[in-house]
Amino acid sequence: MRQIFLFFLLVLSISSALILRSYLLSSEMDGNTLLRLGIASLELKYTVNTGVNFGLVGEASQSRQFLLASLAMIISTGLLIWGARTNNNWITTAVGLLSGGGFANAYERLVHGGVFDYFNFNITMIANPFSFNLADIFIFGGFILLIIRPRTERADPNAEHNGLNFNSISRYASNIGLMLCLIVASVYMSWQILSQFNFLYGQIYDRNNLEAHIQRYAPQNKNKQYFELTTRGERIRIFGAISDSINSRGEGLDEISYSFNNGSESASFLVKAERDHLNDVAQLVSKLKVAGALITGSLIVFYGFCFYFMVSREKYFWRPPTIISSLIQFSFVAGITATATFSIGVQRIFYLLHEVAFSGKAQWFFYYQDSLMTTLMPEIVFANIAILIAALATAIWLAINWLLRRALV
């Protein structure tokens, strides 16, 4: 009977997601408001997502679409096998939703080259770039069910680890390693999220009075003219274009231009040396994002296996440390990093990182009088972005630790 219910839930979740997709594509409802919630509202905003859920990761090639679809089908199939064998109704329901959403999105990737997203929570003060679809709701709902399920099968939290019998030193070392990997994954997710909001450059622009900085140095530029005549909105747009290009392996850098005199005139923004440097930055970011994605994916697989091991065998393969213990470890790492940074000097660290990362590559140091890019993005901008990434990564790290304690203990 449980297998029949699982099959029914799987068919219902897949068919409903695909039917709603087909209906919305044939309608003229793009931009309509579905639900008003004061300063926020649920709207229809049609987008094609070639990344992962909620538009994260960004553009992906056809081969990467096939890879993402294959991975989703493998995971969904594994979940179905688990759901068919378990005697827990909550897990069966969660698996049906997770697998249905996974298969629906995988089908869209294979057939249409991307996932059609349409729901969007629009907030009055912030333009939300993240859209999602019904399949994403099923996936998220299934995950929540796994987290909040009644703990009738919970293993004894005071029992010894029955899967990996680490001694105290090796167990502590493994927890430190996992914590560091989780920090890297949190930074990766923080970057992905903030890049969708252009790293809040508009707020950084106002907070640090970049208007005065640009008005001082733009007229002194030896290569470009009239940048001081551009508007605040135009400068924010240019920063967004540079950010998008860096996240797309440097594509579009040659086309970036600025308009002045109320848009009646325009000029290219970057000189060749700046484009060469930004291409180097784009290649570095691409490599770091691949590393971040691999570490994040590996952690998801590891945590998923630990959850499966605990629920199916009522034993621990690995048990996360307490929140207090995790905070002590995190604070130790953060303290060492902060002490080293302020001892050496923030600006010196900034230059050292550039010297290491771009040694033997294109010119990376520019004076304000030679570079509109540097005028638009002085060092204080990167300091603010680093603080934002660190703050959001810390919040993500804390949230994941809480979820791990909730799910695996």
Structure tokens at 404: 């791990």
The reply to whether 270 and 207 lie within a common domain is yes
Helices 89-112/2-25 angle, 10° precision: 40
Give the model's pLDDT for residue 51: 66
- HSE-CB at 322 with a 13 A cutoff on CA atoms is 5
pLDDT, tens only, 73-130: 998 998 888 888 888 888 889 999 999 999 999 999 998 888 999 998 887 767 777 8
Mark whether 405 and 259 lie in a shared domain.
yes
Distance between CA atoms of 222 and 367, rounded to whole angstroms? 10
Q: Which long-range contacts (CB under 8 A, 24 or more apart) does 275-280 make?
A: 276/362, 276/363, 277/358, 277/361, 277/362, 277/363, 277/364, 277/366, 278/242, 278/245, 278/246, 278/250, 278/253, 278/373, 279/250, 279/253, 279/362, 280/358, 280/361, 280/362, 280/364
Residue type, 2: R
Q: How many percent of the chain have pLDDT more than 70?
A: 92
Mean pLDDT for the chain?
Answer: 86
Q: In the listed set 150, 170, 205, which residue is the last one of a domain according to the structure?
A: 150
Q: Are 230 and 261 in contact (CB under 8 A)?
A: no
Q: Say whether both 289 and 364 belong to one domain.
A: yes
- 345 φψ region: left (φ > 0), alpha (ψ -120 to 50), beta (else): left
Cα–Cα distance measured from residue 318 to residue 181, given in angstroms and rounded to the nearest whole number: 15
pLDDT tens, residue by residue, 332-358: 888 888 888 878 888 888 889 899 999
- Lowest mean pLDDT of 14-28, 329-343, 370-384, name the range: 329-343
Q: Are residues 325 and 221 in the same domain?
A: yes
Alpha-carbon torsion angle 308, 311, 313, 315, nearest 10: 100
> 301, 294, 272: which is closest to 363 by C-alpha?
272
- Of 150, 170, 191, at which residue does a domain stop? 150
Q: Could you tell me if 19 and 104 are in contact, meaning their C-beta atoms sit under 8 angstroms apart?
A: no
Number of structural domains in the chain: 2
Residues 299 and 178 in one domain: yes
What whole-number distance in Å separates Cα of residue 293 and Cα of residue 281? 18
DSSP state of 173: H
What pLDDT shows up at residue 52?
58
- The pTM of the full predicted model, rounded to 2 decimals, is 0.76
Cα(82)–Cα(90) distance, integer angstroms: 12
Long-range Cβ contact pairs of 393-397 (< 8 A, separation 24 or more) = 393/183, 393/186, 393/187, 393/189, 393/190, 394/186, 394/330, 396/186, 396/189, 396/190, 397/182, 397/183, 397/186, 397/330
Query: Is there a single domain that holds both residue 172 and residue 262?
Result: yes
pLDDT digits (tens, 9 = 90+) for 197-219: 899 999 999 999 999 999 999 99
Tell me, yes or no, whether 189 and 94 share the same domain. no
Instruction: Give the residue from 96, 126, 150 where a domain finishes.
Output: 150
The verdict on 116 and 265 lying in the same domain is no
Domain range enclosing 68:
1-150
Q: Which residues contact 403 (CB under 8 A, 6 or more apart)?
A: 147
DSSP per-residue codes, 359-388: TTSS-----GGG-HHHHHS-HHHHHHHHHH
Half-sphere exposure of 378 (CA within 13 A, CB side): 16
- Residues 73 and 218 placed together within one structural domain of the fold: no
Considering the domain architecture, whether residues 349 and 243 belong to the same structural domain is answered as: yes
Question: 3-state DSSP call for residue 252?
Answer: coil
Query: Does 163 share its domain with 222?
Result: yes
pLDDT one-digit tens code per residue, 143-192: 888 888 776 544 454 444 444 444 566 777 788 889 999 999 999 999 99
Domain identity same for 136 and 167: no
Give CA angle at 287 (281, 289), nearest 5°. Answer: 100
